Structure 1
Amino acid sequence: MSHYNQLTAIERGRIESFIQLGLSFHEIATRLNRSVSTISREIHRCTKEYKALAAQKDYLKRRKACRRPRIFENAELRRAVINAIQDDHWSPEQIVGNYQRANGSSPFSFITIYREIHRNNLGMPKSHGARGIARKLRHRGKTRH
């Protein structure tokens, strides 16, 4: 089991200030209670001059890029599913079946559609007090057990 922790934004800010004071990698690592190699890699990862804000933004960008994207982050696919539910009054099972018939296979299952509806309403805004797009389904958005 790894005991490694990512550098925080505060630690990156402290690294930047320690560099401006002219401290060595070893002194910075000692003050932050981190490995010298961690500090060295963090500083060398940045081009030219180390800036904590830029380093934090780069870290967040790399962190987001390393995960598998959700299937319904594809706006065109999400819009097609929403239209099928709202306009055609299809169930998620029918949507997947129709997609498979048209394309040979489906990159998602009907369970994925239900999960996405209950997770964040397929990205659609909910009106006040309503259950959103779940009301357009055949079961009219009855609660899950």
Structure 2
Amino acid sequence: MSYHELSIEERSNIQVGLLRGMSQRAIARMLNRSPSTISREIRRNRSTQGDYITQHAQRAMRERRMSCRPRQKLVPGNELFELVVHLLRKRFSPEQIAGKLRAMEFPNFEDA
């Protein structure tokens, strides 16, 4: 079974279900999700007042997701990107490009 993150619609349904006084298990059945998924979502994204707010939950999810992902290595418009594109157009292989960049001691290549 593969995991699919909760959509904004599902988060909205959680908020409505909680406002209606539904149990977490009932909300899970309604969304065809595991009760533990609903419980974790509510626990992670409650406001300081204890309310579950869809917009807050969605924003928090995006922030958590961005902080755990590595920084992009090749960003269109920067010097490294342009150099890699140029070398690819000259039919260099990715391995050849990596070797050439190391030999050139391209600034921040190993960090990129």
TM over 0.5: yes
Per the TM alignment, residue 4 of structure 1 is displaced from its structure 2 partner at its CA by 1.9
Mapping 1:1-145, distance limit 5 Å: 2-46=1-45, 47=47, 48-72=50-74, 78=78, 81=79, 97=104, 100=105, 106-107=109-110
Per the TM alignment, residue 106 of structure 1 is displaced from its structure 2 partner at its CA by 3.4
Deviation sequence 1:94-140 (CA, Å, 0-9, x none): 8x72xx28x7x73278xxxxxxxxxxxxxxxxxxxxxxxxxxxxxxx
Question: Which of the two has higher C-alpha Rg?
Answer: 1
Report sequence identity in percent. Answer: 31
What's the counterpart of residue 90 of structure 2?
none
Question: Given the two structures, how large is their TM-score scaled by the length of structure 1?
Answer: 0.51
3-state secondary structure, aligned to 2:15: helix
Question: Given the two structures, how large is their TM-score scaled by the length of structure 2?
Answer: 0.65
Describe the shift of the 1:27–1:107 C-alpha distance in structure 2 as closer, same or farther (beyond 3 A).
Answer: same
- Residues of 2 paired with 1:3 and 1:63: CA distance? 18
Stretches of structure 2 that go unaligned for 5 or more consecutive residues are 88-96
Stretches of structure 1 that go unaligned for 5 or more consecutive residues are 86-90, 110-145
- Residues of 2 paired with 1:44 and 1:108: CA distance? 36
Per the TM alignment, residue 58 of structure 1 is displaced from its structure 2 partner at its CA by 1.0
